[in-house]
């Protein structure tokens, strides 16, 4: 029997628990990984354990149990806990004739036959949700907790949370929420508890947008479902937790970073959606002007030195670095990266996640990188003097270093590094360039409206040598969900360390002197690049001033 005509799959479809496209994707992944399709469906968050167990019981005409039907767990002699956990089965009761077992996968003939051979008795198979069996095995491993009231209460709470999180309403709501977020192009989902409700917001093009509140009676189950998907401790509500998940949404694989936060009225959850299918890792497609994109690619092609990208959180720095890495990723070059966190998996790049709790910070990983004969290294962020000094040493010994820094503009990055205590002559010798960037929202082409420039706007454009003619502003329509904007583009200012700049850096010149020298070499600011985008009718002047005026 092939996966495509599996009666379980047919039942899940008939019950409306999965869509055909989702099932097809799960079948493909199951075939690639040698897994049962129901395991893939559960891991992708497309069907709950309870729904899968009910469908299996109906498809195979076997008894269906829930956790309340389990007797006090006992491990028969001849069976190890490791085997029970691996096979996800629970011995229930036995007599002289047979032994009854609850199985998450009653079609696992190998496991059932292993029980029969070990105990010398026929096996009576029954079906139970995977989570219920796993929790019973946990109690079997720690029998002492059953007689301790506090621990028993904790187990009961955990069991109730898991039952609610794996129930059909919570699973269905979370799947609808993720589907809507992906269709709208949201980058983040915020699920936040209030005094008497659960508030839902999506981040679209950098701005939060309210969505209809989830059903109040599903609040705990929805929070639990999100924690289950990310592999978090469902019963831990006192401490922040971080996890990851990969789910199938609208026929696409979406990576999700999940972070919980204990708040006044319950746990708040933030989800960062990372859509591999729509990730643009091409400098030319990020929105930079043609001259900046070309100059940036030229700087990244140098065999050694340091190239920095600066800007606040959410300004697209990581995407720019990944785009540069993709450009440089060749079979004849070894690429290493250290990140916090690793946002996307890049084929051909050895990526390391920092773990400060065990001492694995940027500096320590960067020192280890140097022993692995790399050509190019990406450092997620230069946060301290030690990391900066190791980066300079690596650049001096023939490596190309890509990294980020938190400064408002490109000239300010030099002052920031000098403030860390770096030697000016070493910085002048190793720094290739600094890109400061922001993301501006693009006007919705379906509803943007022209307007005449005001005298103040005309004066601002004239100060930057730009023509004064009509501009556009946002209106709002169904296509852009009433925001007036759809999509974002990067604007930047690129400071190449050349001409008189290395000498000024070595002499520890102030930021104003560096900026003046850069302008003499043709340096164009963030604001100037944003204004050019507004004059082209792609964004509004208000948006440019909001995002770039401080730069």
- Answer yes or no: is pLDDT of 500 > 70: yes
Which range is least confidently modeled, 110-119, 155-164, 178-187?
155-164
Mean pLDDT computed over 433-442: 95
Measure the CA–CA gap between 533 and 524, rounded to whole angstroms.
Answer: 13
Q: Between 398 and 172, name the one with better pLDDT.
A: 398
For the chain, give the percent of residues with pLDDT over 70.
91
Q: What is the number of residues in the chain? A: 551
Most confident of 36-40, 299-303, 342-346: 299-303
Mean pLDDT computed over 309-323: 91
Question: In 3-state terms, what secondary structure has residue 378?
Answer: strand
pTM: 0.66
Contact 295, 496 (CB under 8 A): yes
Which range is least confidently modeled, 313-317, 341-345, 475-479, 537-541?
341-345
Contact 332, 318 (CB under 8 A): no
Integer CA distances (angstroms), 293 to 241, 282, 285, 288, in order: 38, 10, 9, 6
pLDDT digits (tens, 9 = 90+) for 351-392: 998 888 788 888 899 989 989 999 999 998 998 899 999 999
* pLDDT for position 544: 93
Mean pLDDT computed over 276-294: 83
Task: List the structure tokens of 317.
Answer: 């720095």
pLDDT digits (tens, 9 = 90+) for 467-484: 877 799 999 998 898 999
Q: How many CA atoms lie within 13 A of 205 on its CB side?
A: 20
Closest CA to 461 of 528, 524, 526: 528
pLDDT digits (tens, 9 = 90+) for 10-52: 777 777 777 787 777 777 777 766 677 777 776 666 677 788 8
pLDDT digits (tens, 9 = 90+) for 42-53: 666 667 778 888
- Answer yes or no: is pLDDT of 2 > 60: no
Measure the CA–CA gap between 480 and 200, rounded to whole angstroms.
Answer: 18
């Amino acid at each position: 029997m092939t996966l495509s005509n599996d009666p379980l799959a047919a039942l899940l479809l008939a019950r409306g628990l999965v869509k055909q496209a989702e099932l097809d994707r799960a079948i493909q992944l199951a075939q690639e990984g040698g897994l049962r399709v129901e395991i893939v469906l559960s891991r992708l968050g497309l069907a709950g354990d309870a729904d899968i167990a009910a469908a299996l019981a109906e498809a195979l005409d076997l008894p269906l149990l829930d956790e309340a039907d389990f007797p006090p767990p006992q491990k028969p002699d001849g069976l190890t806990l490791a085997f029970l956990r691996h096979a996800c089965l629970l011995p229930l009761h036995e007599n002289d004739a047979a032994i009854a077992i609850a199985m998450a996968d009653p079609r696992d003939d190998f496991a059932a036959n292993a029980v029969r051979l070990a105990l010398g008795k026929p096996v009576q198979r029954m079906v139970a949700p995977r989570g219920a069996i796993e929790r019973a095995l946990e109690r079997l491993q720690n029998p002492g907790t059953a007689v301790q009231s506090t621990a028993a209460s904790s187990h009961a709470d955990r069991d109730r949370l898991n039952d609610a999180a794996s129930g059909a309403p919570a699973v269905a709501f979370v799947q609808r929420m993720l589907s809507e977020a992906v269709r709208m192009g949201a980058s983040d989902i915020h699920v936040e508890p209030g005094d008497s409700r659960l508030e839902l917001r999506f981040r679209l093009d950098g701005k939060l947008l309210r969505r209809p509140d989830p059903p109040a009676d599903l609040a705990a189950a929805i929070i639990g479902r999100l924690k289950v998907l990310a592999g978090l401790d469902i019963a831990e509500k006192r401490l922040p937790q971080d996890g990851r998940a990969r789910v199938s949404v609208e026929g696409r694989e979406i990576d999700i970073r999940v972070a919980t936060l204990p708040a006044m009225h319950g746990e708040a959850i933030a989800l960062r959606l990372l859509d591999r299918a729509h990730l643009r890792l091409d400098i030319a497609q990020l929105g930079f002007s043609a001259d900046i994109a070309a100059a940036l690619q030229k700087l990244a092609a140098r065999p050694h030195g340091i190239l920095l990208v600066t800007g606040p959180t959410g300004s697209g720095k990581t995407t720019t670095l990944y785009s540069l890495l993709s450009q440089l990723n060749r079979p004849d070059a070894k690429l290493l990266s250290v990140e916090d966190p690793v946002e996307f998996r890049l084929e051909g790049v050895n990526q390391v996640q920092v773990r400060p709790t065990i001492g694995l910070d940027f500096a320590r990983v960067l020192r280890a990188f140097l022993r692995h004969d790399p050509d190019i290294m990406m450092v997620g962020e230069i946060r301290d003097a030690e990391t900066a000094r190791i980066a300079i040493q690596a650049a001096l010994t023939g490596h190309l270093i890509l990294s980020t820094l938190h400064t408002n503009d490109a000239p300010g990055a030099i002052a920031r590094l000098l403030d860390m205590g770096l030697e000016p002559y070493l910085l002048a010798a190793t720094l290739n360039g600094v890109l400061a960037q922001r993301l501006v929202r693009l006007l919705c082409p379906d509803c943007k409206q022209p307007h005449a420039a005001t005298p103040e706007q005309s004066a601002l454009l004239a100060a930057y040598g730009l023509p004064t003619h009509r501009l556009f502003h946002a209106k709002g329509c169904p296509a852009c969900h009433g925001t007036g904007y759809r999509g974002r583009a990067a604007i930047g200012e690129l400071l190449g360390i050349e001409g008189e700049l290395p000498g000024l850096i070595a002499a520890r010149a102030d930021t104003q002197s560096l900026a003046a020298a850069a302008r003499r070499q043709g340096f164009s600011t963030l604001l100037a690049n944003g204004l050019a985008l507004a004059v082209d009718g792609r964004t509004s002047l208000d948006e440019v001033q909001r995002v770039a005026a401080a730069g």
